A = this chain, B = another copy of it.
Amino acid sequence: MAENFNRIMEGLGDVLEIVEGRAAPESYRVHIPEKVDVKAIRDRLKLTQAGFAERFGFSIGAVRDWEQDRRTPEKSARALLTIIDREPAAVERALGPITADT
């Protein structure tokens, strides 16, 4: 609920950019949140910090820094974390174990 509200509010920022002419409406662009609640995502997956890191290829140090608000994950990392949160299956598919390709 509250999360949806936040997403919409953030989305409004994009709309503003278009309205103000700072962005082209035809240019699709993903929206990457400024802040990501790593611990929440990890808890949902019921993994330890170490497990979470190994599972998705992060370094343990980075995960700790993120959860401790010592460092902010980079845009790419925030995007990946968001995808892990919303489309975990796709992450499996794209990066997952040695498949015979699709």
Contact = CB atoms under 8 A, between A and B. Distances in A.
Interface in A51-99: 51, 54-59, 73-77, 79-80, 82-83, 85-87, 90-98
Interface in A1-26: 4, 7-8, 11-12, 14-15
Contact of A57 (B75, B85, B91, B94): B75
A32 interface: yes
> Copy number in this complex?
2
Given A11-B97, A94-B86, A55 B29 contact: yes
A95 B30 contact: yes
Interface of A: 4, 7-8, 11-12, 14-15, 27-32, 51, 54-59, 73-77, 79-80, 82-83, 85-87, 90-98, 100-102
Closest 10 interchain pairs by CB?
A11-B98, A90-B90, A30-B95, A76-B77, A86-B94, A83-B94, A87-B94, A32-B57, A87-B90, A76-B76
